[in-house]
A and B are shown apart, each in its own frame.
Chain A
Amino acid sequence: NAGVTQTPKFRILKIGQSMTLQCTQDMNHNYMYWYRQDPGMGLKLIYYSVGAGITDKGEVPNGYNVSRSTTEDFPLRLELAAPSQTSVYFCASSYLDRYNSPLHFGNGTRLTVT
């Protein structure tokens, strides 16, 4: 049981490049999330999904896109990388149950845009 798996662990992008951060979970969770965490700051929600085919914006969605074609996968796409997107990105998943829904996080992707 791998939990939530993110790839890559590290990446350096040049301004204007694009990339996809991969996230997959094997716990059959309906809810999945993408957060970013800037140095010394809290987690900010980028996008979330309540199930396959359904996505919605979080606090800071600009510059990102997501898709949820399957329950397991929730990739995050950066189309035109900017220095402001330098951050650590965490993918997470949780059960549907609202009263017992802790988040399970992946190990994170450290992205630097130069």
Chain B
Amino acid sequence: DAGITQSPRYKITETGRQVTLMCHQTWSHSYMFWYRQDLGHGLRLIYYSAAADITDKGEVPDGYVVSRSKTENFPLTLESATRSQTSVYFCASTGGDQETQYFGPGTRLLVL
């Protein structure tokens, strides 16, 4: 199906483990984004990518790593998960800076 998908939808992990959240879009959009959503903070940008092999930090990048070897994929890795990274993670994409962003369904991550 066309659109933007995220996997897994739900994940429980333990402190110190590495976790990778996947994001895939079928529109060939240039830009892709990772946000986290926490109560009281709204959505905050973690990392974004303007094209394959081009990534940049957002507002809250510490503890996260991204890569973009292919235009359609933008995985987010928590190298050593901490409890403060318990959150809902949203991936988004857009074809250009004049266009709306389209969001995936989110991944709910619980770090114990």
Q: Do A and B bind each other?
A: no
Chain A residues packing against B (C-beta within 8 Å):
none
